């Protein structure tokens, strides 16, 4: 990445930009471990889909400002987290400007291309978080059926893939179709509270079968345990899965 990386602050929030006005990450200075941007909160909605304690093993492709890494490290103490980031400057800035913790027995950071890392690993994860874009906000080869299929093969029996979708033209149908194809249509997508973003989930292994009532109860439990408020997300999850009625099924 030859483009500049910019740090800006406004209203008590520090923002990360890759040389454009598009926000690549954010941290509220008074609450650095919280998920400031709505789409990052909604990427963690898998916590409503699987029984606690879940996930035990998490993989993130794309670090950004380190928001998800900080949240998982601080609020999900039973989870071991591997982060893959291609740009060393992003890792350095996440440490120096966004309070990303140093590596320990629960947090590992690999400087690598996500494609190469997945092709070379034989590890498996419960949750894979995919939020990787270049300076022009393009996912490039990470938005391919072959890559989504490779991710599916790296998920365990309670595996979920969570993807942040961003497109300047706000057209997501082709990407959602690729994810659905790779996961045998065990997928859903919904518009994020962030303007312009969609969140997609895909499942493998054990079915996801959760009633709306149980989703709301789990959202309350997650809020109490971690401070993460997924209660507004429940309605969008149910509406993204209309064929199953008043429940979530994947």
In 3-state terms, what secondary structure has residue 239? helix
Of 147, 161, 125, the closest CA to residue 46 belongs to: 161
User: Which residues participate in catalysis according to the annotation?
Assistant: 131
Is the Cβ–Cβ distance between 13 and 26 less than 8 Å?
Answer: yes
For residue 181, give the H/E element and its range.
helix 173-182
Bridge partner residues of 160 (DSSP):
127, 203
Please list the residues that pair with 108 across neighbouring strands: 82
Residues contacting residue 2 through CB under 8 Å, at least 6 positions apart: none
């Amino acid at each position: 990445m030859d483009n500049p990386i910019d740090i800006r602050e406004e209203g008590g929030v520090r923002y990360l930009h890759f040389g454009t006005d598009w926000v690549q990450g954010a941290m509220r200075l008074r609450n650095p471990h919280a998920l400031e941007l709505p789409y990052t909160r909604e990427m963690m909605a898998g916590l409503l889909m699987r029984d606690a304690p879940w996930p035990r093993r998490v993989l993130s492709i794309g670090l950004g400002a380190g928001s998800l890494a900080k949240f998982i490290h601080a609020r999900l103490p039973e989870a071991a987290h591997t982060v893959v980031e291609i740009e060393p400057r992003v890792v350095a800035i996440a440490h120096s400007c966004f309070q990303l913790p140093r590596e320990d027995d629960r947090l590992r950071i690999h400087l690598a291309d996500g494609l190469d890392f997945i092709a070379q690993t034989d590890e498996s994860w419960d949750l894979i978080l995919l939020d990787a874009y270049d300076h022009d906000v393009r996912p490039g080869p990470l938005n391919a059926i072959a890559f989504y299929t490779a991710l599916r093969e790296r998920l365990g029996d309670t595996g979920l893939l969570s993807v942040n979708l961003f497109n300047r033209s706000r057209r997501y149908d082709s990407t959602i179709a690729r994810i659905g194809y790779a996961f045998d249509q065990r997928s859903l997508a919904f518009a994020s509270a962030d303007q312009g973003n969609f969140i997609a989930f895909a499942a493998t292994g054990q079915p996801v079968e959760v009633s709306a009532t149980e989703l709301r109860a789990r959202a309350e439990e997650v809020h109490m345990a971690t401070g993460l408020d997924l209660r507004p997300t429940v309605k969008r999850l149910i509406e993204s899965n209309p064929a199953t009625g008043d429940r979530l099924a994947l």
